[in-house]
Amino acid sequence: MHKGIAISPGIVVGVAYRVDLVFGSTEPQKLDDPEQVPVEIARFDRAVVQSAAELEAVVTKVAQQLGKSEADIFKGHLQIVNDQTLLAKVRTLIQTQQLTALSALQLVLQGYAATFARIEHDYFRERMADVRDVISRIGSHLTLQSPLAHAAEHHSAASGEEPVILVAQEILPSQAMSLGNLPIAGIVTETGGGTSHAAILARSRGIPAVSGVVGITDDVRSGDLMVVDGREGLVIIRPDREMTAAYRKLQREFFDLKDRLVLNRDQPAESSDGAHVELLANINNLADAQAACKVGATGVGLFRTEYLFLTHQDVPDEEEQYQYYRQIIEDSPNRTVAIRTLDLGGDKTVPYLGRRNEANPFMGWRSIRLSFEHPRLFERQIRAILRAGRHGKVSMLFPMITTLEELHQVNKMVEEARRNLRREGIPFGEDVKTGVMVEVPAAAVCIDAILRETDFISIGSNDLIQFLVAADRDNAKVAHLCEPLSPAIFRVLHMVFQACQQTGTPVTLCGEMAGQPRSVLTLFGMGLRRFSMSPAFIPTIKALLASVTTAQAERFAHQVLQLKTSEEIRSYLTARLREISSTLEVLDSA
């Protein structure tokens, strides 16, 4: 039994499939027949040629879109993909050890990683990231799809009736998006916390997941039966017959409850005394928008546009962004979408914007700060969003605003984009509202000044919590400090809500707290009426709100604001949730 961080509630019993970060298997795969060697080398050479052609196109496009200095990164990648020493190493491994091209690439990558790890110099560490990018690019051409998706799909077909549980060291942003709708029933990772990409993927699909399980990839083998308890944060490898039967029963009960809750999709979202609430969806792509419609969301409260960029080999131009945003809007509930501008940086990086070795990248050069550094890129995204605004009720949301000066700069750029579109005769949405993500404590403290300069705000509780407690939410050693049920976070949120009520400014909370029943009881009691969450959580929160009166929730909130510790708040809200609905308690993380 392993204990980790509960990141998506639920229970599943299934077979494990262990995957590597870059490639579909951690064990070298040999060719079935020595006569396949020449064919495999030819296949590898084709992948190299395809990668080189792709990189040449990227160099041209990035130079046009962003500038020559950004394109230099890909010129470096071209040099690597044409490096005869690297290519010869791969061909030799295929020939002498009769390995598949993908396995040979993996061994070469491991060799380079070991060499670069011995060099204590930032420049060479950055070059290793470039080597990894290039080898991954060649590998993706070999598989003709995401290596991680290929692995999961292959194992799913071979595993028969048992659900597949993905076990990985980490899941990267681009990999999380490429997994799409593959039949994965659970996720377990060694790294990452409640807001990692594995967590976002798991919650958007409503599947149990646990992260921060140190050593799991060493202890589990592909094909092992395992249990994932995404409520308690437990992972059990090779359970005995009695334990397996007990967890299978819990699994059936969990999914039966979820199936029943989805039936409320056409019911209004309101408390038992008739107070109306908007339940919105957080989405990353088209599939999420469609899922939001199926569960009865009234709109999209947060569309994370960075995943379009993360899954692209180069920078999407204005027209491509416009068409993609338009499609998202047309497939979203009530064509109502809050589009967040790029929130890159931290663990979400794209090579064409460069890499920085920062001691703490989550509090460094990321998000709106990165957009200001690349104004041409930022301007194109603003224009694309404004143009897409003709096709629905669209608003534009700016992440990680820290100071009033930043907000002034953003507003100026939006007005300039509007003037340019009018001058060029390009139609756009004249009524697109602009809003601010409140996720930096400085913005929360100065909320009165922010509210005078914006149409609405959305609270990003994930970042707000980690910045407030000075703890990296994806670091397993300090993740316990990123506790949403804490006196500090509730006091800050109460202050922001009161300021918004006084000015009549619309406010949404779009962090993970919005989908957690105990948090929602308090937030609703504080006066919040707009919640945005992973689509899979909407039926649960709708059922919860229908079970509580406004007066009850206000009493809960008043009491929470008097409590002094997170443990006191957790115990109090757990008891209240149990009183209201013991069945819904199983859908909240421990």
Give yes or no for a contact between 233 and 9, defined as CB atoms under 8 angstroms apart.
no
What gap in Å lies between CA 7 and CA 549, rounded to an integer?
A: 29
Q: CB of 236 within 8 A of CB of 3? A: no
Name the DSSP letter for residue 134. H
Q: Return the structure tokens found at 243.
A: 């334990």
- Which residue of the set 150, 155, 500, 510 is catalytic? 510
Pairing type for strands 456-459 and 507-509 reads parallel
Sequence-separated contacts (24+) of 175-179 with Cβ below 8 Å: 175/146, 175/148, 175/149, 176/200, 176/201, 177/201, 177/284, 177/285, 177/307, 177/310, 177/311, 178/145, 178/146, 178/148, 178/149, 178/311, 179/146, 179/148, 179/149, 179/152
Is residue 197 part of the annotated active site? The answer reads yes
Max distance between CA atoms of the chain, in angstroms, equals: 77
Q: Is 567 helix (H, G, I), strand (E, B) or coil?
A: helix
Active-site hit among 2, 155, 197, 494: 197
Read off φ and ψ for residue 508, nearest 5 degrees. Answer: -125, 145
Q: Specify the 3-state DSSP secondary structure of 8.
A: strand
Asked if residue 297 lies in contact with residue 333, where contact means CB atoms within 8 angstroms, the answer is yes
**Separation between Cα atoms, residue 154 and residue 160, nearest integer Å:** 11
The residues near 98 (Cβ < 8 Å, ≥ 6 apart) are 30, 31, 34, 36, 37
Helix or strand holding residue 445 (H, E): helix 441-445
Active site residues: 197, 510
